[in-house]
Structure 1
Amino acid sequence: MGIVAEDAVNQFEALMNQVDEPLKKTFQNIHQGYPTGTLVRFLKAREWNVPKAHKMLVDCLNWRVENDIDNILAKPIVPTDLYRGVRDSQLIGLSGYTKEGLPVFAIGAGFSTFDKASVHYYVQSHIQINEYRDRVILPSASKKHGRHITSCVKVLDMTGLKLSALSQIKLLTIMSTIDDLNYPEKTNTYYIVNAPYIFSACWKVVKPLLQERTRKKIQVLPGCGRDELLKIMDYASLPHFCRREGSGSSRHSGNETDNCYTLDHPFHQQLYNYIKQQASIIAPAGPYKQGSIHVHLPESAAEESEIAKTIESELQKFGNQTRLTDSLDALKVSDNRN
């Protein structure tokens, strides 16, 4: 750490020593014994501007207190059938670890439909996975490798991406904003695989809108990305959709232990059991409370709003072109028949 960066951390630390006790308590849940590393993450997110980083972190701590985020891992989504529906439509899972020990999260961006529950259930599930990653998975990985591991990698499968993604943009923007404001610098690299033409068309116009720091984290890999990903992880840690070309991001693979999206996968079983265990500690005698947790949904930042509008516009253009092509093809068929 350079002199300037060290000075920024010291200034930031002095400011954080002045916050009220409730904020200090939730800060402990964030830093997990590594406060300096957390300060650095927020400084990076605000280009090492100490006042801006301080405001960002204090806003994050207030958000956590107001929405009881510290206890969200004690609030299961019940009944199980509802949670299974969430898992079948919000495709995410832990497929393994990189050779350096970073968790590998697989995300079925193309086939996720988010249509089995309300927005609040999906936001609750998203935050729970974030918190489980930060409080359980990353500390465990750090202990195993003997060094502080603070981030993960994400492999996004674009198989199945369609114009219907328009209906998901608002929810995805909410989740992205929650991550940007409250979980900055938690993803080391985003790997995009199985990208169809519709993604490539959107990526061309979205890429220039991203901050340079974000652009550097995104890598669009050819095909299923297997050969490139095997440079940083073993075959066993590859997401199932990266193991052979054209395999795609099926919701239901033949081997349920390989499909890290399903509730039957060890990762989701461990997560679900952990949440039930935490719930029983807080309320050992009472039944699990049904209903989603209504977390305050943040307003999108200007950059994210612009990106969402751009994606929406490009998808609409693509849809118009597709409909025009279909109409012309229909006319050709009709002319041939006549």
Structure 2
Amino acid sequence: MGDVSQDALNNLKSLMDQVEEPLQRTFQNVHQGYVTETLVRFLKAREWNASKAHKMLVDSLNWRVQNEIDNILSKPIVPPDLYRSIRDSQLIGLSGYSREGLPVFAIGVGLSTFDKASVHYYVQSHIQINEYRDRVVLPSSSKKHGQPITTCVKVLDMTGLKFSALNQIKLLTIISSIDDLNYPEKTNTYYIVNVPYIFSACWKVVKPLLQERTRRKVQVLPGCGRDELLQIMDEASLPHFCRKEGSGSSRRSEGSSENCYSLDHPFHQELYNYIKEQSRIHEKVEPIKQGSFHVDFPEPPAEEVEIAKTIESELHKFENCNGVSDSLDGLKINGD
């Protein structure tokens, strides 16, 4: 770390020492004992400007307090059938770990429909996974490997990406904004696989809009990405849609233990049981309110808005082209 970076870190530490309760309390849930690593994440997100990073972090802590994010892991989505329908339409799961101990999250971008519940339930589910990752999964991996592990890798499956993705842009922008503003720099690398032509076209126009540090994290892999991903993880940690060419994503697979999206997968079972247990503990203090956990949606950064508009524009271009089918899954591209 250079002198400028160290100076910025020292300045941010000094500023954070002046933050009072209850922000200090929620900050503990954010850093989980890894204060320096957490401050560095926010500094990276604000180009190592300590004052801007301080504002970003304090804004995030206020968001957590105002929306009771510290308690979100004691707010189960009930009944279980509702949560199962969310899992069937918001495809995300933990498939395993890289050889360095980084959690590998699989996301079915193309086949996620977000059509089984209100926006609030999907946002609640997303934040719960974020918080469980940061408070349980990452600390456990850090302890196992004897070193701080504070980031993950994500494998994004574009199988099934259609023009109907236009209907999801608003929700995806909300989720992306929540991550950018409150969970910055938590993803080490984004691996994009099973890429149809429609994604290739959007990526060409979106890529220049991304900040350089974000562009460096994105790797578009050929086909299902199996060979490339096996360089950083064992086969057991590969998402099911990367196991073989043409395997694709799915809402349900032959075996629930193989499909990391499913509520029957060990990760989701552990997460759901953890939330139920935390709910029982919390209920001894105050009654649990049923219903979705409403979170204030942040105003998306200008960059997010521009990217969303660009994607929408590109999808409309394809939609209006004569002779172009709704789904272009068959056309693949190699990684950039």
Q: Report TM bin, short chain.
A: over 0.9
Partners of 1:35 and 1:254 in 2: how far apart? 43
Q: CA deviation at 1:3?
A: 1.9
Whether 1:325 aligns to 2:301 is: no
Aligned-CA RMSD value:
1.2
Q: Deviations over 1:156-175 (max 9, x none)?
A: 00000000000000000000
Superposed, 1:228-243 pairs within 5 Å as 228-243=228-243
> Contact 2:90–2:112 (CA<8 Å) still a contact in 1?
yes
> Contact 2:318–2:324 (CA<8 Å) still a contact in 1?
no
- Look up the match of 2:315: 315
- Look up the match of 1:121: 121
- Look up the match of 1:217: 217
- Look up the match of 2:105: 105
- Look up the match of 1:48: 48
- Look up the match of 1:27: 27
Letter in 2 for 1:36: T
Partners of 1:136 and 1:262 in 2: how far apart? 20
Q: CA deviation at 1:302?
A: 0.6
Q: CA deviation at 1:23?
A: 0.4
SS in 2 for 1:188: strand
Partners of 1:186 and 1:165 in 2: how far apart? 25
Letter in 1 for 2:92: I
Partners of 1:164 and 1:178 in 2: how far apart? 23
> Contact 1:194–1:223 (CA<8 Å) still a contact in 2?
yes
Q: Which has the higher helix share?
A: 1
Letter in 1 for 2:323: T
Q: Deviations over 1:145-191 (max 9, x none)?
A: 00000100000000000000000000000000000000001000000
Partners of 2:300 and 2:315 in 1: how far apart? 20
- Which aligned runs of 4 or more in structure 1 are off by greater than 6 angstroms? none
Partners of 2:324 and 2:181 in 1: how far apart? 42
Q: Deviations over 1:104-133 (max 9, x none)?
A: 000000000000000000000000000000
Which segments of 5 or more consecutive residues in structure 1 lack a partner in the other structure? 328-338
Which segments of 5 or more consecutive residues in structure 2 lack a partner in the other structure? 326-336
Q: CA deviation at 1:284?
A: 3.7
> Contact 2:92–2:107 (CA<8 Å) still a contact in 1?
yes
Superposed, 1:1-338 pairs within 5 Å as 1-284=1-284, 289-321=289-321, 324-325=322-323
Q: CA deviation at 1:2?
A: 2.1
SS in 2 for 1:21: coil
Partners of 1:172 and 1:247 in 2: how far apart? 25
> Contact 2:23–2:62 (CA<8 Å) still a contact in 1?
yes
Give TM-score scaled by structure 1 length.
0.94
- Look up the match of 2:333: none
Distance 1:266 1:7, change over 3 A: same
Partners of 2:112 and 2:223 in 1: how far apart? 20
> Contact 1:78–1:288 (CA<8 Å) still a contact in 2?
no
Find the structure with the greater CA-based Rg.
Answer: 1
Partners of 2:288 and 2:11 in 1: how far apart? 44
Letter in 2 for 1:89: S
SS in 2 for 1:116: coil
Q: Which moved more, 1:237-246 or 1:2-11?
A: 2-11
Letter in 1 for 2:8: A
SS in 1 for 2:106: strand
Q: CA deviation at 1:285?
A: 8.8
Letter in 1 for 2:248: G
> Contact 2:191–2:221 (CA<8 Å) still a contact in 1?
yes
Partners of 2:53 and 2:285 in 1: how far apart? 42
Q: Which moved more, 1:4-13 or 1:223-232?
A: 4-13
Partners of 2:211 and 2:261 in 1: how far apart? 30
Partners of 1:143 and 1:26 in 2: how far apart? 22
> Contact 2:87–2:263 (CA<8 Å) still a contact in 1?
yes
Partners of 1:124 and 1:326 in 2: how far apart? 36
> Contact 1:155–1:192 (CA<8 Å) still a contact in 2?
yes
